[in-house]
Structure 1
Amino acid sequence: MLNTMMDKFLRDEQDPKAIEKVYSRLVDLLTSGEEILYIAVQKKPIVNLFPDCIAITNKRILFFTPANLGLSIKFVDFVWKDIVDVVMKEEIIGAVFSVKTTNGAEMGVDYLPKVQARKLYQYAQERKEAEREARRQRELEEKRAESGSVQIDHPAQLAFQPSAPLIQQPVAAAPVPPAPAPAPVVAEEPKKDELTEKLKRLKTLFESGLISQEEYNQKKLELLSDF
């Protein structure tokens, strides 16, 4: 099973024994969601008993160095966000692959087969690009968060600003309309005594012999009863 999983790391003439040692150690170091992308093995021109190795995962790059005559292995790792530069330089024999970190540290391996060094460089550039994009997204999210906090705080600040004192303008008193002029008193002419007039006319008719005594008395009673 282990050999099957290591097959994809033996396609560029890597040393199988070195890959087996590094892979078995690397599997124990993987964190949640971490995946091995490539492993390169040093190939020295004369004696290559204990080669150095470089492994690249989706989260970091690891440098493995054999110790104690190959009985143990040491490693140094750098996460991608701390790597500022990746360099691959091809020489007459093999190539040199190195990285530089944000704190100025440098780490590299020489005598790498050129095809393996190129693959390392390719994967490293892809991871650096992915990290740059992730960093850009984080910065955008931070800016959005800052912008959102300003928008939330701004109304509250306005709410607590003391309002300017209201200056009441004097209100002009409404003009008092002049009192209406008294209506002219029209002197009414005294009404004529209609009853008296009618009685006089009735008496004149009687005295002139135009009506009888009986008619006079009856008409007089009618006039008096109406008033």
Structure 2
Amino acid sequence: MSIDKFLQDGQDAKVVEKIHDKIVDMLTGGEFIQYISVQKKPAVTLLPDSITVSNKRIFLCEFTKLGFATNFEIFSWSDIKDIAFKEEIFGCKVTVIPAAGENLTIDYIPKVQARKLYQLIKQALEQPPTPLAKTSGAQPSETATRPATVEHVAAAPERPRTIPPTGPMPAVPTTPEKEYSPSVPAPADTQAAANRDAEEDELTQKLRKLKTLYDRQLITQAEYENKKSELLSQL
């Protein structure tokens, strides 16, 4: 099967092919892959994480043991409460919010791919339940409250997941990075001061992240100075 349709947003062809071949073997009857997004860090990413969406489930993939093993976190749509993403200087943080258990986040997803993921997942969550459950009088049972975990080798993972939960995210992040207004309007001068504090705090975080990238030699000094000047000009 051709994977060309999964490479339209800059995905790495070799990584997509490897993920595609693994997930195809796990698809159920009538299930097909809709989209594959691949992590892209500022430096070279040898073993990128990925998010794959089918018409029935979502697969969060993490390569381990130098690529010889793969960990999957698999959710059916009934197990997912929401999807959120946050745009940053380099890519986006995409967070899957399950109905039960911890949130799972993958960072450095390219912005175009993150928006496509958000669109597909929100569309799937907004669809009404399939009428298949009405074929019998019994209510459909929930077989598990935690997502299924699949590993392609017998050995247990040598390290915990590198996809840390980041805490609660906005349920519907229609405008990422924007603070929501309280239900009771504050006085004009107090609201303006709060907005300035929020902007300064956000700018401080961006400057700190930029300095970290420079210290790790992920960007050149010229790139660092240009980006810092651009951020400071927003004051």
TM-score (norm 1): 0.57
Which residue of the partner structure matches residue 95 of structure 1?
Answer: 92
Q: 1:138 to 1:20 in 2, by over 3 A?
A: closer
**1:74 and 2:77 correspond:** no
User: What is the DSSP-based 3-state SS (H/G/I as helix, E as strand, rest coil) of the residue aligned with 1:8?
Assistant: helix
Work out the percentage of aligned pairs sharing the same amino acid: 45
Pick from 23, 28, 34 the counterpart of residue 25 of structure 2: 28
Superposed, 1:30-45 pairs within 5 Å as 30-45=27-42
1:44-79 superposed Cα distances (whole Å, 9 cap, x missing partner) = 111311100100001110001011111222211011
Q: CA deviation at 1:138?
A: 8.2
In 2, Cα distance between equivalents of 1:35 and 1:127: 14
* One-letter amino acid matched to 1:134: P
Given the alignment, which residue of 94, 103, 117 partners 2:114?
117
CA–CA separation in structure 2 for the residues paired with 1:71 and 1:11: 27
Does residue 60 (structure 1) correspond to residue 57 (structure 2)? The answer is yes
Q: Which amino acid aligns with 2:13?
A: P
- Is the 2:95–2:105 Cα contact (8 Å) retained in structure 1? yes
3-state DSSP of counterpart to 1:69 = helix
Q: What are the equivalent positions in structure 2 for 1:53-202 lying under 5 Å apart?
A: 53-130=50-127, 133-134=128-129
1:8 aligned onto 2:5:
yes
Q: Which residue of 2 aligns with 1:185?
A: none
5+ residue gaps, structure 1, are 147-227
C-alpha distance in 2, partners of 1:62/1:75?
A: 6
Between structure 1 and structure 2, the one with the greater Rg is 1
C-alpha distance in 1 between matches for 2:82 and 2:71: 23
> Which sections of structure 2, spanning at least 5 residues, go unmatched?
139-235
Q: Which has the higher helix share?
A: 1
Relative contact order: is structure 1 or structure 2 higher (C-alpha 8 Å, sep ≥ 6)?
Answer: 2
Give the counterpart letter for 2:129 in structure 1: A
Amino acid of the residue matched to residue 30 of structure 2?
G
Cα separation, 2, equivalents of 1:75 and 1:96? 18
Q: Quick one: which amino acid aligns to residue 18 of structure 1?
A: V
Distance of 1:15 and 1:138 partners within structure 2: 37
1:46 to 43, 46, 70: 43
For this pair of structures, how many residues does the alignment match? 137
Aligned-pair distance for 1:40?
Answer: 0.0
Structure 2: which amino acid aligns with 1:121? Answer: Y
Measure how far apart 1:98 and its partner are: 1.0
Structure 1 residue 85: Cα displacement:
1.3
Report the TM-score when normalising by structure 2.
0.55
Q: Which runs of 4+ in 1 moved over 3 A?
A: none
Tell me the distance in 1 between the aligned counterparts of 2:16 and 2:50.
8
Counterpart CA distance in 2 for 1:87 and 1:21 is 26
